[in-house]
Structure 1
């Protein structure tokens, strides 16, 4: 596995490098955002770890530029910002996951393995080639990353929002806890940050739901479910 780490804190880089060595991961470390983007463009990577605050080019801009190029490489963002709005911004720009500083190296490694394993499994299983799911209102093509709602194309979903919606449409009316969604969509076991799921559900609701047609429903004390049969006046 070959991972590009774009982080200007040399202490953090040294810590990550130590754990990469234990895992047999080839890590390339760059301390400047613009230099990191140029390095990314020159080679093929299995994943990126990008700090939010960087000289040259900030991590959010870097992430956005990569996604504008239709590159689906897994991206984990490191951030000292822990407000929901900051997390939403990073995810909106296309990050697959985020880790808030200070963080456990073991937790970071688990998330790296999760996002890369899911990405590789999707390719190996052909889900990017023939993975089409459809409900009464929604049609999703995982090959083209297209989402149609009542025939209208939805083009502003982040990679993780897309994955979460795809999973829910595959399992209509089934209730999932936050821990289950973290494990099955994000690919790692629960590490204490349920806000990741809540943020994504909130963003999906804003992007695809209407006043009359909610798709996601909170099951209090349990989690969430996707159910098109429940209308707004029935909630």
Structure 2
């Protein structure tokens, strides 16, 4: 059965084009080997690094779609790396791994721009599911209906759905994680409507998301701060006991 599944996955990757490139950053060689072998077996091109320095060497060789990043690393720790990478344009998606399974640690990782967070030790199959979900969220928005327009404009802001780029009214590019981009897209495609938390989870994170996943709450908070910093106060309004509403009028443009 697993051979059949692997064959199907390989066929799907062939249809989609080049397989996604994943970088595993962990100082434990055992974990690096297990995770990289498992993901490679499911059709991904996998690179590994033991710390931030070797990670930079891998990144210099070519683009990476997703980084599986351990928190406890020698030298620059995973949280610092996450913060630094998330602040750069075209940053790869990031899934953080940590033996520190406390809810506060998870929220810190998400606050710094991680797309997802798993406690260690994690089941490789669960990691695979998270990898697929994060990459799917990142890749799906590229298929834009030209008749609808490739960008959304609201309150002086412009969200380019093809380039995955948000520009403030001052024409400053605002970096978004893939989760934040998916969330903002869900809002701007349904403006001035109340969206429940479950609806946002489904729209932004997919049907396989955990109903108790705190990532959506953290990303709403991060997105609000980024919009507020650019003069977009109250664009995302909390509707008590119901959900959230994107308050601005949205216009689709070429």
Farther off after superposition, 191-200 or 204-213: 204-213
**Inter-CA distance 153–97: structure 2 relative to 1 (3 Å threshold):** farther
Query: Structure 2 regions of 5+ residues with no counterpart?
Result: 1-18, 250-254
The TM-score with structure 2 as length reference comes to: 0.70
Farther off after superposition, 207-216 or 166-175: 207-216
CA RMSD between the two structures: 3.4
Aligned pairs for 1:44-63 (under 5 A) are 44-63=63-82
The aligned counterpart of 1:203 is 222
Q: Kindly indicate whether the alpha-carbon contact (under 8 Å) linking 1:52 and 1:79 is maintained by their aligned counterparts in 2.
A: yes
1:4-35 CA distance string (max 9 Å, x none): 10112344334424532542333223222211
Aligned pairs for 1:126-205 (under 5 A) are 131-136=150-155, 138-142=157-161, 143=163, 145-148=165-168, 151-153=169-171, 155=173, 157-159=175-177, 160-187=179-206, 189-205=208-224
Q: Kindly indicate whether the alpha-carbon contact (under 8 Å) linking 1:179 and 1:194 is maintained by their aligned counterparts in 2.
A: no
Q: Kindly indicate whether the alpha-carbon contact (under 8 Å) linking 1:114 and 1:188 is maintained by their aligned counterparts in 2.
A: no
The aligned counterpart of 1:7 is 26
Note the C-alpha offset of 1:228: 4.2
Aligned pairs for 1:193-232 (under 5 A) are 193-209=212-228, 213-228=233-248
The TM-score with structure 1 as length reference comes to: 0.75
Q: The residue matched to 2:118 in structure 1 has which SS?
A: strand
Q: Distance in 2 between matches of 1:96 and 1:86?
A: 14
Note the C-alpha offset of 1:202: 1.9
Q: Distance in 2 between matches of 1:189 and 1:115?
A: 11
Q: Kindly indicate whether the alpha-carbon contact (under 8 Å) linking 1:168 and 1:225 is maintained by their aligned counterparts in 2.
A: yes
1:36-61 CA distance string (max 9 Å, x none): 22112213333221112211332233
Q: Kindly indicate whether the alpha-carbon contact (under 8 Å) linking 2:137 and 2:182 is maintained by their aligned counterparts in 1.
A: no
